[in-house]
Structure 1
């Protein structure tokens, strides 16, 4: 496979020199078999490649002793003996059903070097990362879902002795929690363990449709919708899109909470508050006609399904609520908060079973539309146990923004303030309107701290 040529960051932050990409196969013998993904894994909305970055500091005990690329490469090979489906390839069978062909071909691996210290990166580590293309392996074809490596990994050594672990995950085979489990297993093996403390469990049949499938709940996410192709084309054109991220610390959250009626203040979580606020501001920014229906898709981890410890497939479903755009934009924030609460309350075990059944009956339709905003909360993932010998990463998260979905990311600023970062991707003019609407929502004034050459923005209430 040809390596893409090294290119300096368009932001001037770092230039990376890559070695030739290679495939890492399991370090021992593994079964050659077909393993079927669950009906939940095969959802259309999961058929994409998820980019993640983990940033590791220098460890004095490892300095001059070990090469992080060599250590990570060896640990991944050992972990693949247990997680051998990850070394295979996705195939598509009848009825759009996905299977993993456990070929043992391996995952894609690249080692690289960057002449920069971790400390120099500062808050540019938070998503959307402006130097993503430099630290993330993107060999031609590796972003496809069918017939390509399920994981692509790049280890970028830094001048200070630390390194960046860049990962591209085929989301159909695992979610971010499953990836965390795999990385923790590899890290344990790197530190000398003979067997991972948590062994992987496949058992994807647990989340298959019932026989016969039966829809018992309302699922607007599977409604037949007329898509505005013009708007969809605009949202899909990367040249037209602005990438920003917004930091919400305790002061921002407190400011937004002042917008709520008294009876909702103590009953509303930070997730509910931010989701309602962002949905409203995004709808205002897109200037959707008042009578048009807009949708909020909350990605929620499924409860009570008997999923065993060690399971690393997707366990999330979508809970969707609707509103007329005009009503959402002009109503008090409490209206949107109540809708978010409604979405969360819908998700029971029966809802999940009905969701899976509906997806099979409907032929696994796509969920994302131009008038839909999806939110995924990854603040509780945590990569604290992914210690390959250099200690835990100073930050690890989804690394990019997407047109239809925002991932909530736990983040600590270089000033030590903890909060949530939300990456956002919108057309440039809509992004300007979004920032204005959000500033009004926070209400106490704003100050913008730009990082990554303007690709990240902090909405900050005045002190």
Structure 2
């Protein structure tokens, strides 16, 4: 055990906030509706900061003040009919935990997720009714060396990555004594109802279909029981550039069918997809899907307001046969991913929104695999994979008044096929891939991941 809990508080907004029930958008209620973890490590300069107790007090005081403009995070979710959720803005508060560790920061090596690091993040008990669960858990863990970690578990039913980073960044500003820079836009559902036109075209939304199973299996129960492991794979800028060159090799970008070279995400996601299929030893005729997460804030007109607080992401599958992925160049996988991303037009988003509004029950669209090991996400698990991009999120440089973090990373996750791409912390063009895969496949995956680019 890396950490021992010493105290736990419920922190409420510093001032009275609006009370009432807020309707969530359809985008808030599909996909992952549980909590997502993130952790920061700090090694403060002892000559420049106040004692540890003052650090905790600064965090708690500024968090209470941040919950005034971001008051939905102090509320609670509750179920209503049709497998839908609404947000009760009741000001019940968030959970703040203080813990201590006998370890030093140096004992954690490169900070890659490990069994020991699980205790550094708050535990969310999904056996409790959803209306009793805080939407935000915060854990401050002090280490023997004087350093500390700050970990959050934040509800994905209320925030996507962009909104979560917005909140965390404004909280840090308040802790430094600065005013809020961009106020959150909280009237999301009303905005959508007022401004989104009816779709002019109805699409066959393949993203709402069941993902492929392994050939010869009618369900994924057997695969869901396989032991998984999480690994962090690092690529230098030179390795990323080499992969991009491989993806774009032989492509004529003056051709009207090809608008531009493949991006970092399209290249890296394609590489991960191919390596996963190869390491899983897929047959040529095996269908496989890669889940792409597309932010549609700027894809609809009018664009969502600055500071839009909520989910504005669309999950779209790129599909292929494993044989095509592996027999064709990397550019083929990248082209399948680009095709999926480019489907997410304004009309496509509006059509999907209308479809979800008219669904009698949203339960089958809700991904609860983060809470229950027996359930998996719609694009996770053999033969499928999810590749989430944090490349454009402002995830680094979080300064609460004692300097920037020495490391930031996602919370531990152990679901077969989950992966995310993060930019290197130094801004040097390097990337980190956090990948969860079955133990039986991970060594072969690493071999294929690096073999052509070392």
TM-score range, shorter chain: 0.7 to 0.9
SS for the counterpart of 1:318 is strand
Aligned to 1:222: 208
Deviation at 1:89, TM superposition (A): 0.8
CA contact (8 A) 1:53 1:165 kept: yes
CA contact (8 A) 2:237 2:431 kept: no
Which moves more between the two structures, 112-121 or 346-355? 112-121
Query: Residues of 2 paired with 1:129 and 1:344: CA distance?
Result: 33
Query: Residues of 2 paired with 1:294 and 1:253: CA distance?
Result: 24
Aligned to 2:29: 42
- From 415, 420, 423, the equivalent of 1:407 is 420
**Offset from partner CA, 1:210-257 (integer Å, 9 cap, x none):** 6877763342211245756787334434x7112212111123223434
Aligned to 2:442: 431
Aligned to 1:421: 432
Deviation at 1:354, TM superposition (A): 2.1
Aligned to 1:5: none
Distance 1:427 1:224, change over 3 A: closer
Distance 1:226 1:247, change over 3 A: closer
- Summarize the alignment of residues 174-213 of structure 1 with structure 2, pairs less than 5 Å apart: 174-193=159-178, 195-205=179-189, 206-207=191-192
Aligned to 2:118: 133
Distance 1:176 1:143, change over 3 A: farther
SS for the counterpart of 1:123 is coil
Query: Residues of 1 paired with 2:397 and 2:184: CA distance?
Result: 16
Query: Residues of 2 paired with 1:180 and 1:144: CA distance?
Result: 27
Query: Residues of 2 paired with 1:361 and 1:233: CA distance?
Result: 30
Which moves more between the two structures, 268-277 or 112-121? 112-121
1:72 aligns with 2:59: yes
1:91 aligns with 2:78: yes
Query: Residues of 2 paired with 1:149 and 1:93: CA distance?
Result: 18
Aligned to 2:16: 29
Distance 1:52 1:143, change over 3 A: farther
Aligned to 2:278: 284
**Offset from partner CA, 1:428-452 (integer Å, 9 cap, x none):** 112223223223343xxxxxxxxxx
SS for the counterpart of 1:173 is coil
Query: Residues of 2 paired with 1:349 and 1:381: CA distance?
Result: 22
Aligned to 1:233: 221
**Offset from partner CA, 1:247-282 (integer Å, 9 cap, x none):** 111232234345332327981221111111101111
Distance 1:328 1:360, change over 3 A: farther
Deviation at 1:161, TM superposition (A): 3.2
Query: Residues of 2 paired with 1:329 and 1:146: CA distance?
Result: 47
Aligned to 1:304: 299
1:335 aligns with 2:347: no
Deviation at 1:22, TM superposition (A): 2.1
SS for the counterpart of 1:67 is helix
Distance 1:279 1:145, change over 3 A: farther
Structure 2 portions without partners, runs of 5+: 254-259, 366-377
CA contact (8 A) 1:58 1:160 kept: no
CA contact (8 A) 1:241 1:425 kept: yes
Distance 1:268 1:243, change over 3 A: same
Structure 1 portions without partners, runs of 5+: 1-7, 9-14, 443-460
What TM-score do the two structures reach when normalised by structure 1? 0.83
Which moves more between the two structures, 430-439 or 83-92? 430-439
- From 235, 254, 263, the equivalent of 1:269 is 263
**Offset from partner CA, 1:394-427 (integer Å, 9 cap, x none):** 33232234424311112348xx965211111121
Distance 1:119 1:368, change over 3 A: same
CA contact (8 A) 2:211 2:384 kept: no
Query: Residues of 1 paired with 2:294 and 2:432: CA distance?
Result: 19
Query: Residues of 2 paired with 1:249 and 1:426: CA distance?
Result: 22
What TM-score do the two structures reach when normalised by structure 2? 0.84
Query: Residues of 2 paired with 1:144 and 1:334: CA distance?
Result: 47
Query: Residues of 1 paired with 2:116 and 2:393: CA distance?
Result: 23
Query: Residues of 2 paired with 1:250 and 1:157: CA distance?
Result: 34
